[in-house]
């Protein structure tokens, strides 16, 4: 169930959740997004955010981690059953990324992936393009992160026949 041909628009997976601590929010910000409202409680309290909040890229990175780990769990199960595992390629990019609300200290964000479009690639008969909406939702049910992510997924037809479909 992991080759491009096995995928259907509307398929959805809950991939896990993460609770953001003050320490990790500040550590991520020091490394990649050193703005006062991500680094310091007092400065954040004076900002329009009102309290320390995570870099949007920190939320994106946690979402990515949960998707990669969920895929690896799925691949391990397939291998255990002796089934072939489709290769996934690099991502050509992201679009329509939104951070509608901040992620504050102690918020628990649940991440999900839903397939919105499947496209064959004229120049690459061995793979198809899966476009998925990734989301992060906080413990109050509010959307905090949303993005359309593209990923190349191996096609079964070429894999089985050894020739392009």
Partner 1 sequence: MRAFEDFKVGDVMEFAPFAITAADIKSFAARFDPQPMHLDEAAAQNTIVDGPLASGLHIVCVHMRLFADGVLRDSTSMGSPGVEEIRYLAPVRSGDHLTLRVEIAGVRPSKSRPEMGLVNFRSHMVNGDGKPVLEMTATLMFGRRAATGGSGVAI
Min CB(98)–partner 1 separation in Å: 4
Determine, following the binding rule CB under 8 A, whether residue 133 of this chain makes contact with partner 1. no
Beta bridge partners of 84: none
- The two three-digit tokens of residue 99, written as one number: 């951070």
- Show contacts with partner 1 in window 101-130 (CB under 8 A): 102
Question: Site for partner 1 (CB under 8 A): which residue of 32, 41, 73, 84?
Answer: 32
- Could you give the CA distance from residue 3 to residue 154 in angstroms, rounded to a whole number? 6
Question: Site for partner 1 (CB under 8 A): which residue of 7, 13, 16, 33?
Answer: 33
How does DSSP classify residue 30? Answer: H
Min CB(99)–partner 1 separation in Å: 6
Closest CA to 2 of 87, 89, 129, 91: 87
CA 19 remoteness from chain centre: 16
How does DSSP classify residue 104? Answer: B
Within 10 angstroms of residue 101's Cβ, the number of other Cβ atoms is 16
**Neighbouring C-alpha atoms within 13 Å toward the C-beta of 142:** 10
State whether residue 68 is helix, strand or coil: helix
Determine, following the binding rule CB under 8 A, whether residue 90 of this chain makes contact with partner 1. yes
Closest to partner 1 by CB, 56 or 165:
56
Determine, following the binding rule CB under 8 A, whether residue 35 of this chain makes contact with partner 1. yes
- The two three-digit tokens of residue 125, written as one number: 């008969």
Closest to partner 1 by CB, 103 or 112:
103
- Show contacts with partner 1 in window 43-82 (CB under 8 A): 46-49, 55-57, 60-62, 64-65, 68-69, 72
Which spans of this chain sit near partner 1 (rule: CB under 8 A)?
A: 31-35, 37, 46-49, 55-57, 60-62, 64-65, 68-69, 72, 90-100, 102, 147
């Amino acid at each position: 169930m992991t080759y491009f041909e096995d995928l259907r628009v509307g398929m959805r997976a809950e991939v896990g959740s993460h609770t953001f601590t003050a320490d990790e929010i500040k550590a991520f910000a020091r490394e990649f997004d050193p703005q006062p409202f991500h680094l310091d409680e007092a400065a954040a309290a004076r900002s329009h955010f009102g309290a320390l909040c995570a870099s949007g890229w920190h939320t994106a990175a946690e979402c990515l981690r949960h998707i990669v780990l969920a895929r690896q769990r799925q691949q391990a199960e397939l291998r255990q059953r002796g089934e072939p595992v489709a290769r996934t390629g690099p991502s050509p990019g992201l679009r329509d990324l939104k951070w509608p609300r901040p992620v504050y200290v102690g918020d628990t964000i649940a991440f999900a992936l839903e397939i919105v479009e499947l496209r064959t690639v004229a120049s690459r008969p061995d793979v198809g393009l899966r476009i998925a909406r990734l989301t992060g939702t906080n413990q109050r049910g509010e959307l905090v992160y949303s993005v359309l992510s593209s990923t190349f997924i191996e096609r079964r037809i070429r894999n089985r026949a050894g020739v392009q479909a």
